[in-house]
Amino acid sequence: MLNSVLKDAIKKRDETLSILKGPKFEQIVKQAKSNWIYFSPTKQDVVVAGIDSSFNSTKFQGAELWAVTAVSVKSDGEILVDLHEHGLDSNPELASLASKMEIDACLESVDKAELVLMDGSLYSQFLTRQKSLANSLVNTIRKKNNVVFVSKTSNTKKQFENLGAIAGDIFYYNHATISPGFSKIHEDPKFGNDMIISSVFARLAESLPLIKIELLGSGYADNDFKLILTQTQHSLIKQYVGLLGTEKVELVFEESGVDKIASLATEINQNVENIGARRLHTILEKLLEDVSFNASDIGSTKIIINEEFVEKNLGELIKSQDLSKFIL
């Protein structure tokens, strides 16, 4: 049954894509190309902190177990904030509790990092789904004005709706270019002049998945977003370098290795499932799995991450789409 459904969906792929594109597709893509600012970030050494949360609950023999955690980690691997709560009773609004803990972690981090990255959308997460937390979040952001929201996906339809767009903005930018850079700044005054959200879609390197970057406030210039992209380009790699450095394992990422990782992320997103920039995390995690596990036993050593290293450790896995689907 499932196979027949999948086969039918594949046969109708072009028809479905045509409907999604709509009659104004070429016009909208032309506008998206016009909006795109070509820019290739170069590495800068800055102190960046990343904040994320998670929650879960399960029923166990008549009781309900729940747990919520939020963490802030610097780009060198240092944990700045580690918050967690759990209980046995009927669970509270876990999503709201997780969002509140993220704000608490952010408040403790803004003075300890030059740039604080919040995982998720300022628009959808805090100003729509978690309205009750809006004032607390705004006050936290304005303490240093160094908080940036980064989304790996986006459903917003703001920039091309006057052209008759059917799909979200990110769909048209994905079809407009694969080059690094970012879209022109879009300001959304929906929540009033005190809570204008400025956003761009961005790509850190050629063929990498798009991300959405949001800032609170208006009047930002292109150079403000260029600085953000430059500071965040290598933050994920720097985290692994810092974490393994504590075990005296020196990781050296050569350009060929970074390019290969980016290429694999794009390939798997296209052929298996598009999960956006999260693919980079899963690839790096698998690539360095053995090194991380054995770090305490390896001792002082240097490991070069180049194209050959990536091929050797992930080559066979990449060839199998079935394995890639479940492991990467």
Where among 190, 209, 233 does a domain terminate? 233
Q: Is the pTM of this model over 0.75?
A: no
Whether residue 204 is found in the same domain as residue 274: no
Domain end (from 185, 201, 233): 233
pLDDT at 328: 47
The pLDDT of residue 177 is 94
Q: How many domains in the chain?
A: 2
pLDDT at 91: 65
151 and 284 both lie in a single domain: no
Residue ending a domain, among 194, 213, 233, is 233
- Could you tell me the residue range of the domain that residue 56 belongs to? 48-233
In terms of domains, do 123 and 150 share one?
yes
C-alpha distances (whole Å) from 25 to each of 86, 172, 175, 207, 298 are 49, 8, 10, 21, 54
Q: Do residues 324 and 280 lie in contact, with contact meaning Cβ atoms separated by under 8 Å?
A: no
Tokens of 9: 């969906």
pLDDT at 324: 47
pLDDT at residue number 273: 67
| 34 inside domain | no
With beta carbons less than 8 A apart as the criterion, state whether 68 and 96 touch: no
* 161 & 301 share domain: no
Q: Is residue 200 part of a domain?
A: yes
Q: Within this chain, do residues 229 and 318 fall inside the same structural domain, yes or no?
A: no
* 3-state SS class at 23: coil
In a domain, 21, yes or no: no
**Segment 173-218, tens digit of pLDDT:** 999 999 999 999 999 998 888 889 999 999 988 888 899 999 999 9
Q: Is 276 helix (H, G, I), strand (E, B) or coil?
A: coil
CB 207 within 8 A of CB 266: yes
Residues 145 and 259 in one domain: no
Determine phi and psi for 138, rounding to 5 degrees: -60, -45
Q: Which residues of the chain have pLDDT under 70?
A: 1-3, 6, 9-10, 91, 232-236, 270, 273-278, 318-328
Residues 204, 255 share a domain: no
Q: Report the candidate in 185, 140, 137, 138 with the shortest Cα–Cα distance to residue 158.
A: 185
